[in-house]
Amino acid sequence: MKVRTLFTAFAVAIGAALAGAAGAAAAPAADGEVTPFIVGGGNATQTYSFMVSLQSTSGSHFCGGSLIKANWVVTAKHCVQGRSASSVRARIGTTNRTSGGTVASGAQIVTHPSYDIALLRLSTSVSQTPIAVASTSGAVGTATRIIGWGQTCAPAGGCGAPVTLQELDTSIVSDGSCLGIYGSYEICTNNPGGRAGACYGDSGGPQIKSVNGVWQLIGATSRAGNNSSTCATAPSIYMDVPAFRSWISQYAGTV
């Protein structure tokens, strides 16, 4: 694998902000007021056994992740860089980030030396079913879904993280639609209608596709595709998880 530095300081700052701005719960909507979701999405239509909320030990959500083995989670590097494993806990397999599923403590963090991807080893194996890593992410036009507890309005700091998991159906678009992308290791993902997509707090969370009716993992939320601090104003960049299969397998075993 080539070693290449992808991120300018600004891009890294945007990525870190995607992780950090989602600690507070979203304010309830007034009667008759429409509350946006994941920026343009909606409440999760199913329970995703592999969905992970990365939290502080006090239960504050800061990033998403995907369970790929009974005791391993894949997420974004900027979500866990500078944190100790013992300061991170994972709530797995629920649509409510405050209850349900299984809660496990972090035991080890492994960050990639060059790209925005990381692994969290859990202190114990959990009973939830992990998601398989797809053989490839797919071609331009591949239908995908993103899920997370990220901020539900576009402006930075404009609202908090929803309690209920959100989802949005989208698709892979050409690399030329994302600034600063390295296509061999990253995915450019559409913002439907020009105003829907991942936001602050969705970082590290899964991008998935259906293969014969079964969800498979293709991406981990990384950053905006236009370096804007306002969410969903352009396609977003996701780490291409299948491209890191060999690196992941060094630590978590074959995926």
Hey, which residues are catalytic here? 78, 116, 203
Distance CA 107, CA 85 (A): 5
Q: How far apart are CA 231 and CA 110, in angstroms?
A: 28
DSSP label at 59? Answer: -
What's the chain's Rg over C-alpha atoms?
16
CA distance 186 to 115: 9
* Bridge-based pairing state of the strands 214-224 and 132-133: parallel
- Strands 143-148 and 166-171, how do they pair? antiparallel
> How far from 248 is each of 5, 218, 227, 242, CA to CA, in Å?
19, 13, 28, 9
Rounded Cα distance between 53 and 172, Å, is: 24
Residues 31, 34, 40, CA angle at the centre, nearest 5°?
Answer: 160
